[in-house]
Amino acid sequence: MPVTTTKSSLADIEAEGLVLGVYAELPLPGPAAEFDRLSGGTLTSLFEAKEISGKKGDVTTLLAPQGVKTRTVVVVGLGPQNSLDRGTAYRASAAAAKSLSSKERGKVVFALADQWSAELVEAAVCGSVVGCVGQDIYRAKKSRFPLANIVWAGVDDAAAERGAILGEGVNLTRRLVNEPPSDMYPESFAAAARKVAAATGLAIEVWDAARLESERCGALLAVARGSVKPPRLVILRYQGAAADKPLLALVGKGVTFDSGGLSIKPTDGMKTMKCDMAGAATVLGAMQAIAQLKLPVNVIGLCGLVENMISGDSYKLGDVLRARNGKTIEVLNTDAEGRLVLADVLDVCVQENPARIVDLATLTGACVVALGNDVAGLMTNDEAWCGAVKSAADTCGEPMWQLPMFPEFGEQIRSEVADIKNVGDGRWGGAITAAKFLEEFVAGKPWVHIDIAGPSFLEGAKPWLDAGGSGFGVRTLVELAARGV
């Protein structure tokens, strides 16, 4: 959606909606103070009467306000001024955009920025692009209407452009996750990736089933066997620096639907399993943004794509698989399939000789039990690299928390029949034993695994975002790339 800027005063702006920000305490910030003067002290009186709190994300709508040429003014809380950060700016702007998206609107002006840094502006603009987009992509009667014309007042043009690019990357990820599995399967995901590559100049390579067979991707292919939809591996390359500069690798799990296989999920557990490709979708959204931002870094994105279904040829409990790196894997649960897909994709990644690896996956319900629905789990073989990933996430306001990777967890995946098995000993520490499994395939490269099973898909709406795919992780990956490898 188009995002433009204006330097006009609020008195001269004509729009269908105007968004203002207020802090948790007076005095009012610049744009809000200007509106207050034009409207005869409206905001001050509402603030003093506690009708407006300034609490983070609180939205108050004023209809037919005096002093400006707009039908609606939305006032959104920014919290305490001294604690304003990118996460707050993103969510506040998104909450305002969401509140205005309940009906079709043309021009909406956002006047939140009050001498903000370029980074704060980028985050807020990103939020304005994301918040007004819903999951109702197949509804005849829409519940969300993307804002037709977003205008940001008093901000730098370049910062606004970067924020819009980031928002479109997040929305791409959300749309892919929200597509039904009848339309989003390995081949169609690969087709979507080809379109992104063509539009942004990314180099793309797609491995079909025959190529995967010739490359000895036995773990990934075993998961795919039960489906009539053939698997794919998508490899995207972006070169923004000299060829001899370090390479950052982003790896995503792309199980476009997960029935659980023969270890079949119950109905309630299967309802949202179209989201099991969120890791791959996050990588694609981030790669689109990285290319459009022309970041001075080299990045490779790899997406392993399968359906985990049931048929007479489904892989079975007790099977022993041979992964691409030669390790043998005893299968004790066909619903622990994402790690099998990533095993081979990580080995392909390693052969590209990246300096650093990040993988993202909706890998375990155990991580949701440990950290809840809003926090992703971090697991690593390199503390410095994990610290860099967490720093990028904290800066963006995408909550992540590190879980321990003690050697004892690795002992739980040792098999009596094969080299390793695809589950640990019982339910406990399941997110960590899954990560220890993945560690077997990174060949000692600095690597961080992000389990996004909780925050990648919202089963209920948030004040700043509709239910469904959240795009969680896109902003962190782009921030990480922007900082260099």
Q: Does domain 3-153 have CATH number 3.40.220.10?
A: yes
**Nearest 5 degrees, angle CA 240-CA 177-CA 148?**
80
**Considering the entire predicted model, what is its pTM?**
0.97
Profile the chain (485 residues) by mean pLDDT over runs of 10 residues. 92 96 94 96 93 94 92 96 97 98 96 94 98 96 95 97 98 98 98 98 98 98 98 98 98 98 97 98 99 98 98 98 98 98 98 98 98 98 98 98 97 98 93 98 98 97 97 98 93
> Contact 254/279 with Cβ under 8 angstroms?
yes
Q: How many residues does the structure list for the chain? A: 485
CATH class of segment(s) 171-482: alpha beta
C-alpha closest to that of 220 among 232, 228, 210: 232
| Sheet of strand 320-322, all strands in order from the earlier edge strand to the far edge | 320-322, 328-330, 420-421
Amino acid at 34: E
> Does 265 participate in catalysis according to the annotation?
yes
42 SS3 class: helix
Q: Output the pLDDT for position 2.
A: 85
CB-based contacts of 117, cutoff 8 Å, min separation 6: none
Q: Output the pLDDT for position 320.
A: 98
Percent helix, strand, coil in the chain (nearest 5)?
40, 20, 40
| Residue of 37, 265, 322, 483 marked active site | 265
| Residue of 91, 105, 253, 339 marked active site | 339
Is residue 14 exposed (0-12), middle (13-18) or buried (19+ Cβ within 10 Å)? exposed
> Does 339 participate in catalysis according to the annotation?
yes
Beta bridge partners of 298: 239, 247
For every residue of 433-475, DSSP letters joined together read: HHHHHHHTTSTT--EEEEE-TTTTEESS-BTTB-SEE--TTHH
Cα 19 to Cα 16: distance, rounded to the nearest angstrom: 10
Q: Output the pLDDT for position 375.
A: 98
Please state the domain extents for the chain. Answer: 3-153, 171-482
| Sheet of strand 356-361, all strands in order from the earlier edge strand to the far edge | 203-207, 232-239, 298-308, 247-258, 356-361, 447-451, 376-380, 400-402
> Contact 249/286 with Cβ under 8 angstroms?
no
Q: At what angle do helices 474-482 and 157-178 cross, to 10 degrees?
A: 140
Residue located via tokens 């003690």: 406
Residue located via tokens 């269908």: 16
Cα 449 to Cα 21: distance, rounded to the nearest angstrom: 36
Give the pair of three-digit tokens for residue 379.
């697991």
Cα 209 to Cα 190: distance, rounded to the nearest angstrom: 13
| 376-380 and 447-451 strand pairing | antiparallel
> Contact 401/371 with Cβ under 8 angstroms?
yes
